Chains A and B, each alone.
Chain A
Amino acid sequence: MDKKRFYAIYDDEDDVLNAVKIIKQNNISIVDVFTPFPIHGLDHALGLNRTRLGITAFIYGCIGFIVALTMTYYIMIIDWPQNIGGKPSFAYYLNMPAFVPILFEMTVLFAAHLMVITYFFRSKLFPGQKASNPDVRTTDDKFLIEIESDNSKDINDLLKKTGVSEVKMQEIN
């Protein structure tokens, strides 16, 4: 039997959340859900894993901190120590309090930018990327669930029960 792709379009975010739960209960696999805005609890209903972007931000922040430490240590202590305003430059820990603002800013700089780059990379967002939402109204006011199945009759009946406003079907060859 041929596999078919279903696009179930909803008008209300509460209906979508409900529909996702019902579809999941019936063991039908959801390919993706497209929504115009984030729906609270949708990732949980879909069984998506927690995103690890927050953890990457922490790691990137640590890298930024180490880079700043190395940079200030090399420039101010190793390469060319100078007496500036009587601030001690014999050892790093003596001069370090003056570098706290730099250490902080570099930590934030690395954490923020590298996290956003990771986010763009993971979500495949970049200039020139083609939009992949199946219906243009999903950035306006419609919510779309994409389902793949080979049993079209059951799916249609099930979707009707979830308060769907429109179902589109597409053959996959």
Chain B
Amino acid sequence: MHKRASIREPLILGEKSYHDITVDIAKPVEGKANRLWWIVFGVSCVLFIWWILCVGYTVGTGIGVWGLNKTIGWAWDITNFVWWVGIGHAGTLISAVLLLFRQNWRLSVIRSAEAMTIFAVIQAAMFPGIHMGRPWLGYFVFPIPNEYGSLWVNFNSPLLWDVFAISTYFSVSLVFWYVGLIPDFAMIRDKVSEKIWPMRKKVYSILSFGWSGRAKDWQRFEEVSLVLAGLATPLVFSVHSIVSFDFATSVIPGWHTTIFPPYFVAGAVFSGFAMVQTLLLVMRKVVSLEDYITIKHIEYMNIIIMLTGNLVGIAYITELFMAWYSGVEFEQYAFLNRFSGPYWWAYWSMMTCNVISPQLMWFKKLRTNIVFTFILALFVNIGMWFERFVIIVTSLHRDYLPSSWSMFSPTFVDIGIFVGSIGFFFVIFLLYARTFPVIAQAELKTILKSYGEKYKVRK
């Protein structure tokens, strides 16, 4: 019945049966949080409160409280926006693209990766929202008939394409995630005892939409998953391409390049996988999922990080080459200024973190080492933040008119909103880790016989 390739390493360790999977996945939901969870949650809550205060100050006083000036009209806010959106790309990429390629290792990581996508896009959407200055007028970005005559949105503008792309991406990812969650919520609903936790039973009954696991429902479930994956795959590529159009369609040296869309998509996948790695390495320890998120999974993700890191590296070098080859002085100066101007340290941090450090992944010993992977993932996260900072700030701070050249320095509000958004993200993620089935257990059970260690040994 089940194909068992002997050269494939097991993806589910330990002598697991179907029931063991159920018990392991329901454990974090049924059990109590440990100390580590409370410590991290407490710190995140403090950062979240700081975020609320800084956002309140920004909205109440105006975006003049940020470090922006006339020359540098986009800085940390858009850097943070692109950084978070980039992180938000791994989730749907892992589940959709790897589903289409039938990569079975995806099943242990998709749920958390998609959760990360949704939470990261929430953080991302916040930044342009606050940058509007008057966020309560945010609905102006949608083509809604209004009282100002024919004041419509401008469909020629990449910023409006972004509105459509991000909202489509967010809502489709949310639906994709939820469709997969329903059978797993049903599992928890049936597992939780009504006598001990009547409230939980009720909540999970509502969340599971009355899922019963009928043969016809499973048939529809698989079809819907497949079609959504087919729709989400081009969507992932389109969204970050459109984010890159925000820059590429302008006439600022260093932005006006055709390489931006593929370069941004590769960078998004790169940073997204690094964030998945960071989260999963902690989560597998905290909620003891070492048997499901194995060294093999970590290695596969590290290989993708290395591949996309190299793609990003090629893009950096191509940019430099094209700047020289174009013969345009402004373009040449923009790149000369990037690596040797006042922001040289940002450029070289980016190069070190994104291009040089992933090369260490060529060594099997290193890419299967958990501590090394964790440190490298943090490096990539930092490097990708610097990439966006370099692209945005170094291109803007010295433009065509030398008399308006300027430098950017963040205020405490800039820093507060950024660090606070990380806290906000972790608050939601930690709550998710305690209340949701963190692994797509129903689908994982389908590969138990072909990838479980128990069955491997017995063959």
Compute how far the CA of A92 lies from the CA of B167 in the bound complex, rounded to whole angstroms.
25
0/1 per residue, B145-161, Cβ < 8 Å to A?
A: 00000101111111011
Cβ contact within 8 Å between B22 and A48? no
Assuming A80-B150, A131-B189, is B215 touching A46 (CB within 8 A)?
A: yes
- A38 close to B22 (CB less than 8 A): no
Judge whether B186 and A131 touch: CB under 8 Å: yes
Q: How far is the CB of A133 from chain B (nearest CB, A)?
A: 4
The answer to whether A166 has its CB under 8 Å from any CB of chain B is no
Task: Flag whether B405 is at the interface (Cβ < 8 A).
Answer: no
- A119-132 vs B, Cβ < 8 Å mask (1 yes, 0 no): 11011111111111
Complex: chain A residue closest to B228, CB-CB: A112
Min distance, Cβ A14 to any Cβ of chain B, angstroms: 5
Chain A residues with Cβ under 8 A from B232's Cβ?
112
CB 8 Å contact bits of A75-99 with B (1 = contact, 0 = none): 1100110101101000000010011
Query: What chain A residues lie within 8 Å of B156 (beta carbons)?
Result: 76, 84-85, 87, 95, 98-99
Pick the residue among A48, A136, A141 that contacts B17 (CB under 8 A): A141
Q: Nearest chain-B residue to A134 (Cβ)? A: B212
Partner of B220, one of A17, A33, A53: A53
Name A60-112 residues within 8 Å CB distance of B: 71-72, 75-76, 79-80, 82, 84-85, 87, 95, 98-99, 101-102, 104-106, 108-109, 111-112
Q: Is B78 an interface residue (CB 8 A)?
A: no
Contact present for A141 and B217 (CB under 8 Å): no
Is the pair B22, A34 in contact by a Cβ cutoff of 8 Å? Answer: no
* A80 vs B247: C-alpha distance when bound (angstroms): 27
Instruction: Give the total of B residues in contact with A, Cβ under 8 Å.
Output: 66
A116 at interface by CB-CB < 8 Å: yes
In Å, the complex CA distance between A36 and B437 comes to 15
For A30-41 the 0/1 string (1 means CB < 8 A from B) is 001111111110
Residue-wise interface mask of A (123-151) relative to B, using a CB-CB cutoff of 8 A (1 in contact, 0 not): 11111111111001111110000000000
Question: Which residues of B (41-82) have their CB < 8 Å from a CB of A?
Answer: none
Q: Determine if A113 is an interface residue (Cβ-Cβ < 8 Å).
A: yes
User: Is A9 interfacial (CB-CB < 8 Å)?
Assistant: no
User: Which A residues touch B22, using CB under 8 A?
Assistant: 36, 140-141
Query: Which listed residue, B17, B164, B189, B218, touches A39 by the CB 8 Å rule?
Result: B218
Whether B205 is near chain A, meaning CB under 8 Å from some CB there, is yes
- Residue among A17, A37, A43, A79 with the highest chain B CB neighbour number at 10 A: A37
A36 to B232, CA, bound (A): 26
Q: How far is the CA of A131 from the CA of B165 in the complex (A)?
A: 36
A173 close to chain B: CB less than 8 A: no
Q: Contacts A102-B161, A105-B238, A133-B213; is A116 near B224 (CB within 8 Å)?
A: yes
Is the C-beta of A26 less than 8 angstroms from some C-beta in chain B? no
Chain A residues contacting B443 (CB-CB under 8 Å) are: 37-38
Residue numbers in A under 8 Å from B153 (CB-CB): 75
- CB-CB under 8 A from A140, the residues of chain B are 18-19, 22, 187, 190-191
Which of A43, A48, A123, A141: most chain B CB closer than 10 A?
Answer: A123
| B445 x A36 contact (CB < 8 A) | yes
Would you call A8 an interface residue if the criterion is a C-beta within 8 Å of the partner chain's C-beta atoms? no
Assess the A36–B187 pair: CB atoms within 8 A: yes
Measured CB to CB, the nearest residue on chain B to A127 is B206
- Contact yes or no, A43 B155, CB < 8 A: no
Whether a CB of chain A sits under 8 angstroms from the CB of B417 is no
Tell me if A19 is interfacial: C-beta within 8 Å of chain B: no
* A104→B213 CA distance, assembly (Å): 34
Q: Which residues of A lie under 8 Å from residue B182 when comparing CB positions?
A: 125
Q: Counting CB contacts under 8 A, is B458 at the interface? A: no
Number of interface residues of A (CB under 8 A): 64
**Consensus secondary structure, chain A interface:** helix
Q: Determine the distance from Cα of A148 to Cα of B156 in the docked complex, in whole angstroms.
A: 62
Q: For the complex, is B223 an interface residue (Cβ under 8 Å from A)? A: yes
Q: Which among A33, A109, A136 is the interface contact of B168 at CB below 8 angstroms?
A: A109
The residue among A36, A113, A126 with the most chain B CB atoms within 10 A of its own CB is A36
In the docked arrangement, what's the CA distance between A113 and B223, Å?
A: 14
Instruction: Please tell me if B415 contacts chain A, counting CB pairs below 8 Å.
Output: no
Do residues A108 and B19 form an inter-chain contact, with CB atoms below 8 A?
no
Contact B175 A125 (CB under 8 A): no
Task: Among A32, A71, A109, A113, point to the contact of B143 (Cβ < 8 A).
Answer: A71
Q: Do B210 and A125 touch (CB < 8 A)?
A: yes
A15 to chain B, nearest CB (A): 10
Residues facing A in B186-228 (CB within 8 A) are 186-187, 189-191, 205-224, 226-228
Q: Which residues of the other chain, B, contact A138 by a CB distance below 8 angstroms? A: 190, 212-213
B420 on interface, CB distance cutoff 8 Å: no
> Closest approach, in angstroms, between the C-beta of B157 and any C-beta of chain A?
8
A109 and B227 within 8 A (CB): no
Kindly identify which residue among B150, B216, B228 contacts A43, using a CB–CB cutoff of 8 Å.
B216
Smallest CB-CB A-B distances: 9 pairs: A129-B210, A141-B18, A80-B150, A136-B190, A125-B209, A133-B212, A101-B161, A38-B218, A141-B19
5 cross-chain CB contacts under 8 A: A115-B224, A116-B224, A120-B209, A123-B217, A131-B186
